[in-house]
Structure 1
Amino acid sequence: MAPPTETLTAERILEATEEVLRRHGPAKATVVDVARALGVSHGSVYRHFRTKAALREAVTKRWLDRTSEKLAVIAAGDGAPEQRLRAWLAALFEAKRHKAGDDPELFATYTVLTDENGTVVGEHIADLTAQLTRIIETGSASGAFTAADPAAAARAVFQATGRFHDPCYAREWQGPGIQDEFEAVVDLLVRGLAA
């Protein structure tokens, strides 16, 4: 085994794990495969991630966090609440559609991993609904929206748009008319929130 050319970090391990998962799929990818890709012993990987499950959970969280971080910028923006809500929902749909369409093998792998990691997925959904809550709270405070309970409204918006971000609908995301359908749902939700 060749000595590593760079310091072994959790980030390097996660990058290598993603490549191994892309190549082998979740059923066949092993910690030994990840170590081999990095040119280190599997014990070196285990020093950063105590179990295979912990490694898979971390790579799933990393994947979901990429979307959350992009959306957080929109949620924290200072534009009009309606525009921020529309931009946030559009960015979520585009991020999911991009992941499913650009790398279908890895998307399928992550679909399996997210099913395994309910806690990570639950935290991701809680983060996303918290971002929506901030947008709706801002809209309610400014008089643009009427939502007595912004958190409940955020959960309702998230659930109502599930067809455009839940991976179980990924096959529909490239279909004809999907963008028009998305915009119709968002228009309906914005009208429902409007003061």
Structure 2
Amino acid sequence: MTTTETLTAERILEATEEVLRRYGPAKATVVDVARVLGVSHGSVYRHFRTKAALREAVTARWLGRTEVLLSEIVEAPARSAEEKLRAWLACLFETKRHKAGGDPELFATYSVLITEASGVVDEHLVTLVGQLTRIVEEGVRGGEFEAPEPVVVAQAVFDATDRFHDPVHAPEWRRPSIDDEFRAVCELLLRGLRVSAVS
């Protein structure tokens, strides 16, 4: 049993995720979270002032895991920008696909929470496009990519691959042809970015 002295925001978020998985977003309550933790719901509210704030924090934590994985690719030394871009897009797709297929109940829950936490989602999208921008800029500096406006190009790459990371497309990710389709889109984008493609 957890006491208020040992109760942390991280532990509350872990318990909230468990409750959301069990009951879904419509039925999960702060009282349920407190019950899992063995504390009063007031103890939870000391860390998160409202139910909405708690749900936003859980959503941010979920999205943040993906950001960390992708950041490792951006920061990787001794890789070309093309290798980084290809790896970044593949990691984003595989991470989203794994979440959708590995824990469908929780994925469905987060799909609901994401619509509620628009500010959190907006920040997440800005972070992802920012990571892509860094890769494109690196490619321009290294003479690999032709991109007069790296931010615009990064946003275009993100938008062009939407089908492989937007949860609305999750049912398509089980199709046998999806990996080939993903590779075809990536190759088309890379071909357009390569300096050698400009005559």
- TM-score tier, shorter chain, comes to over 0.9
C-alpha distance in 1 between matches for 2:95 and 2:48: 28
Shift of 1:3: 5.5
1:182 partner amino acid: F
C-alpha distance in 2 between matches for 1:14 and 1:160: 33
Shift of 1:11: 0.2
C-alpha distance in 2 between matches for 1:175 and 1:25: 26
C-alpha distance in 2 between matches for 1:3 and 1:191: 55
- The one-character-per-residue Cα deviations of 1:88-147 (angstroms, maximum 9, x if unpaired) are 000000000000000000000000000001100000000000000000000001110000
Match of 1:42 in 2: 41
C-alpha distance in 1 between matches for 2:76 and 2:89: 14
Match of 2:53 in 1: 54
1:115 partner amino acid: T
Shift of 1:4: 3.1
Taking the TM superposition and a 5 Å limit, the aligned residue runs for 1:24-173 are 24-78=23-77, 79-173=79-173
Q: 1:3 to 1:94 in 2, by over 3 A?
A: closer
Shift of 1:5: 9.2
Instruction: Provide the aligned length of Structure 1 versus Structure 2.
Output: 194
C-alpha distance in 2 between matches for 1:57 and 1:46: 14
- The one-character-per-residue Cα deviations of 1:29-52 (angstroms, maximum 9, x if unpaired) are 000000000000000000000000
2:80 partner amino acid: A
Q: Contact 2:70/2:91 (CA < 8 Å) preserved in 1?
A: yes
- Indicate whether 1:20 and 2:19 are aligned: yes
Structure 1 gap ranges (5+) = none
1:8 partner amino acid: L
Q: Contact 2:9/2:47 (CA < 8 Å) preserved in 1?
A: yes
Q: Mean Cα displacement is larger for which, 72-81 or 120-129?
A: 72-81
Match of 1:11 in 2: 10
C-alpha distance in 1 between matches for 2:72 and 2:179: 23
Q: Contact 2:30/2:51 (CA < 8 Å) preserved in 1?
A: yes
C-alpha distance in 2 between matches for 1:187 and 1:43: 53
Structure 2 gap ranges (5+) = none
C-alpha distance in 1 between matches for 2:56 and 2:2: 27
Runs of 4+ in 1 over 2 A off after TM superposition: 2-6
C-alpha distance in 2 between matches for 1:33 and 1:102: 24
Q: Contact 2:59/2:110 (CA < 8 Å) preserved in 1?
A: yes
Taking the TM superposition and a 5 Å limit, the aligned residue runs for 1:164-183 are 164-183=164-183
C-alpha distance in 2 between matches for 1:167 and 1:6: 38
The TM-score with structure 2 as length reference comes to 0.96
2:43 partner amino acid: S
Secondary structure, aligned partner of 2:174: coil
Shift of 1:77: 1.6
